C-alpha cells in the first residue's frame, strides 16, 4: 500500500574500497578503487544532490577485521574496509560542490578527547553552513584497542557509560561555552567577542577531566545532527536519550518493526517525542529499466561478489570466527563484546544459523537483502517498508559505483517523486538560505529542541548559571 509520509534518503558509503557488498570492487565498471581521489567524492556528492538525497552517511572503523581465520589475509585480498582513510577530511570538498546535501560522519569517541573533537565538528558545521552530523560509535574491535596502546576494549556496557560522559562534555562545549550574543565582530569598537559571554567549561568526571573554553564560535547547528547505530538494550537506551537519527540494519520486517517501536517508546520515556527519532534502514537496491533487466544485473553482480568476504566482515562485527565452524554446524556462541545486537540476532534466531546459510545470505557480498527491480518496483518496496515498519528512510549501500547511485537517482527517485515521497526541490529556510541538515530533517530550526538533554547545557544571556543547569542534567559529570 503506498504511503504519504515522505521518506528520507541517505547514501551509505565509507572512505575505502570494500564497504558492505564485498567483492564488487573487482567488477570492471566499479570505481571504488578510486576512493582516494577527490573527484570520486565530489562526483558522488553532485549525483546525490541531483537525486534530492538528504545526506551522505559515512561509516568508519578504527582497527582491522582480523577475527575470521584469525588474520587479515582475506581482509587485504578483498580490501574489506582496509585500507580505510579518514572520512571527515572528505567533507569540505563535497560541501563545496553542493548546497543542501547533509553529511553524517562516523567517529569513534573511544579514542578521542572531547575538547579537540568538539572543535573539529564545529569547524565542519561552519564550513558546511550547518550540514554536518556525527554518527556516535564506541567501537567494537579489539584490534583498534591494541593499536591505541590498550590491552583490550572496555566491556560493552562500560563503553556506553563512557559515551554518556563524553556527550555531557561535548554538549557543554558546543552549547554552553559561547552564548549566542558573544560574538560582536565590532571593528570600530575593536571587540570581536564579549568576554562576559564566553564561559569556561569545568568538568571532572570518571573518564574525562577538562577545564577550558570551546575553541570555535557558535556554528549554525552548534551540536551536529546526532546519529547512532547500536541496537543492544544499552545501545537503544543511549539512542533514545541522545540520537536524532538511528541507523538500523534488521532486514526482517517484523523484527525491525519491534525495534522501531521499542526505540520510539524509549524516546518518549526519556522526555522526547516518538518522532524526535528519524529511523533509517540499511538497504541495497539493484535497479534497471525493467524487473527482468534488474534480475540480470543482480546475477551479473553476483559473479563478482565474494560471500566469504562478507562473512569475514560479519565475523568482526560479532567477534565470532565463522571459519571454525563446519559449513552446516549451528552457530550458537558469541562473546557479546563486539556489536551485541548483531551477536544476539545471530545466536538467538529460532532456527540455528549455519555458515552455509550465512554464505547464502551474503550472495551479493553483504548482509542486506537486495531490493531488485525497475524504478517503480523498488519505489513500491521502499514505500511499503516506511508504511509497515514505521521507519523514516533508508541508508542506501553501494554495489557497483557510481552506476548504482546513478541508476537509483535516474530510475527510482523519479518514481518516488511521482508518489510525493521525495521532494522535487530542496526547500529554503525563512531567510532564503539552504536549510541546515537539522532543519530539513525535523522542520523546527537549526538547533536541538529544548527537550533534548543537550539543551540543559545552554547558558542564557540573563546570566543563569550554566553549571547549575548542566548539573541538573548530569550531576556526577559536571
Ligand X SMILES: Cc1cc2nc3c(=O)[nH]c(=O)nc-3n(C[C@H](O)[C@H](O)[C@H](O)COP(=O)(O)O)c2cc1C
For binding to ligand X (CB under 6 A), which residues are involved?
Answer: 59-61, 106, 108, 137-140, 156, 229-232, 234-235, 247, 249, 282, 339-341
Nearer to ligand X, 53 or 247 (CB): 247
Compute CA 257 distance to the chain's CA centroid, rounded to the nearest angstrom. Answer: 20
Q: How far, in Å, CA of 322 to CA of 308, rounded?
A: 10
User: Least distance to ligand X from the beta carbon of 106, Å?
Assistant: 4
Q: Is 60 annotated as belonging to a binding site? A: yes
Under 8 Å between Cβ of 142 and 178? no
Nearer to ligand X, 279 or 421 (CB): 279
Q: Is 156 annotated as belonging to a binding site? A: yes
Q: Is 86 annotated as belonging to a binding site? A: no
Question: Who contacts 248 (Cβ-Cβ below 8 Å, separation ≥6)?
Answer: 229, 231, 256, 259, 260, 279, 280, 281, 282, 391
User: Least distance to ligand X from the beta carbon of 136, Å?
Assistant: 7
Q: How far, in Å, CA of 201 to CA of 213, rounded?
A: 6
Nearer to ligand X, 176 or 319 (CB): 319
Q: How far, in Å, CA of 63 to CA of 316, rounded?
A: 10
Nearer to ligand X, 58 or 372 (CB): 58
User: Least distance to ligand X from the beta carbon of 23, Å?
Assistant: 20
Nearer to ligand X, 164 or 175 (CB): 164
Q: Is 231 annotated as belonging to a binding site? A: yes
466-472 contacts at long range (C-beta below 8 A, 24 or more positions apart): 466/172, 466/176, 466/199, 467/202, 470/168, 470/171, 470/172, 470/176
Q: Decide: helix, strand or coil at residue 11.
A: strand
Under 8 Å between Cβ of 119 and 215? yes
Nearer to ligand X, 219 or 399 (CB): 399
Nearer to ligand X, 48 or 107 (CB): 107
Nearer to ligand X, 133 or 282 (CB): 282
User: Least distance to ligand X from the beta carbon of 231, Å?
Assistant: 4
**Cα separations in angstroms, 230 against 109, 163, 282, 321, 343:** 14, 12, 13, 21, 12
Q: Which of 408, 371, 407, 400 minimizes the C-alpha distance to 304?
A: 400
Under 8 Å between Cβ of 330 and 355? no
User: Least distance to ligand X from the beta carbon of 338, Å?
Assistant: 7
Q: How far, in Å, CA of 33 to CA of 279, rounded?
A: 31
User: Least distance to ligand X from the beta carbon of 60, Å?
Assistant: 5
Q: How far, in Å, CA of 296 to CA of 300, rounded?
A: 6
User: Least distance to ligand X from the beta carbon of 53, Å?
Assistant: 18
DSSP conformational letter for 411? I
Q: Which grid coordinates belong to 236?
A: 537503544
Nearer to ligand X, 216 or 249 (CB): 249
User: Least distance to ligand X from the beta carbon of 211, Å?
Assistant: 28
Question: Who contacts 453 (Cβ-Cβ below 8 Å, separation ≥6)?
Answer: 167, 171, 241, 242, 473, 474
User: Least distance to ligand X from the beta carbon of 133, Å?
Assistant: 13
Compute CA 101 distance to the chain's CA centroid, rounded to the nearest angstrom. Answer: 15
Q: Is 160 annotated as belonging to a binding site? A: yes
Q: Is 232 annotated as belonging to a binding site? A: yes
Q: How far, in Å, CA of 433 to CA of 445, rounded?
A: 13
Q: Which residues are annotated as a binding site for FMN?
A: 60, 106, 156, 160, 231-232
Q: Which residues are annotated as a binding site?
A: 60, 106, 156, 160, 231-232
Amino acid at each position: 500500500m503506498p504511503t504519504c509520509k515522505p521518506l528520507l534518503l541517505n547514501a551509505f558509503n565509507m572512505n575505502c574500497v570494500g564497504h558492505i557488498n564485498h567483492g564488487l570492487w573487482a567488477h570492471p565498471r566499479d570505481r571504488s578503487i578510486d576512493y582516494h581521489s577527490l573527484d570520486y567524492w565530489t562526483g558522488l556528492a553532485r549525483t546525490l544532490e541531483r537525486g534530492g538525497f538528504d545526506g551522505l552517511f559515512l561509516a568508519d572503523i578504527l582497527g582491522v577485521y582480523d577475527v575470521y581465520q584469525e588474520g587479515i589475509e582475506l581482509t587485504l585480498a578483498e580490501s574489506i574496509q582496509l585500507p580505510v582513510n579518514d572520512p571527515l577530511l572528505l567533507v569540505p570538498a563535497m560541501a563545496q560542490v553542493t548546497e543542501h546535501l547533509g553529511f553524517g560522519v562516523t567517529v569513534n569517541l573511544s579514542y578521542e578527547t572531547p575538547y579537540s573533537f568538539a572543535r573539529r565538528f564545529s569547524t565542519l558545521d561552519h564550513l558546511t553552513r550547518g550540514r554536518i552530523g556525527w554518527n556516535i560509535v564506541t567501537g567494537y574491535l579489539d584490534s583498534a584497542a591494541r593499536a591505541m596502546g590498550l590491552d583490550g576494549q572496555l566491556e560493552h556496557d562500560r563503553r556506553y557509560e563512557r559515551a554518556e560522559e563524553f556527550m555531557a562534555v561535548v554538549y557543554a562545549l558546543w552549547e554552553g561555552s559561547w552564548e549566542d550574543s558573544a560574538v560582536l565582530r565590532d571593528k570600530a569598537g575593536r571587540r570581536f567577542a564579549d568576554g562576559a559571554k564566553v564561559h569556561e567549561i569545568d568538568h571532572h568526571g570518571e573518564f574525562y577531566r577538562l577545564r577550558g573554553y570551546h575553541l570555535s564560535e557558535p556554528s549554525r547547528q552548534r551540536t551536529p545532527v546526532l546519529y547512532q547505530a547500536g541496537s543492544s538494550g544499552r545501545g537503544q537506551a543511549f539512542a533514545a536519550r541522545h540520537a536524532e537519527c538511528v541507523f538500523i540494519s534488521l532486514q526482517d520486517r517484523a523484527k525491525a518493526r519491534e525495534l522501531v517501536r521499542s526505540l520510539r517508546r524509549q524516546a518518549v520515556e526519556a522526555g522526547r517525542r516518538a518522532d524526535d527519532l528519524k529511523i533509517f534502514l540499511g538497504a541495497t537496491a539493484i535497479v534497471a529499466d525493467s524487473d527482468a533487466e534488474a534480475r540480470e544485473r543482480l546475477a551479473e553482480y553476483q559473479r563478482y561478489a565474494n560471500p566469504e568476504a562478507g562473512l569475514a566482515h560479519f565475523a568482526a562485527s560479532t567477534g565470532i570466527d565463522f571459519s571454525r565452524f563446519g559449513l552446516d554446524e549451528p552457530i550458537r556462541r558469541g562473546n557479546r563484546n563486539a556489536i551485541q545486537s548483531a551477536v544476539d540476532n545471530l545466536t538467538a534466531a529460532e532456527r540455528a544459523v549455519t555458515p552455509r546459510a550465512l554464505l547464502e545470505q551474503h550472495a551479493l557480498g553483504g548482509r542486506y537483502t537486495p531490493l531488485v527491480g525497475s524504478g517503480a518496483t523498488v519505489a513500491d518496496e521502499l514505500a511499503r517498508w516506511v508504511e509497515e515498519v514505521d521507519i523514516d528512510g533508508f541508508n542506501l549501500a553501494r554495489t557497483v559505483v557510481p552506476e548504482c547511485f546513478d541508476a537509483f537517482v535516474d530510475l527510482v527517485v523519479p518514481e518516488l517523486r511521482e508518489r510525493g515521497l521525495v521532494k522535487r526541490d530542496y526547500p529554503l529556510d525563512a531567510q532564503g538560505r539552504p536549510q541546515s541538515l537539522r532543519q530539513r530533517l525535523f522542520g523546527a530550526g537549526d538547533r536541538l529542541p529544548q527537550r533534548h538533554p543537550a539543551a540543559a547545557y545552554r547558558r542564557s544571556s540573563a546570566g543563569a548559571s550554566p553549571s547549575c543547569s548542566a548539573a541538573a542534567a548530569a550531576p556526577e559529570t559536571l
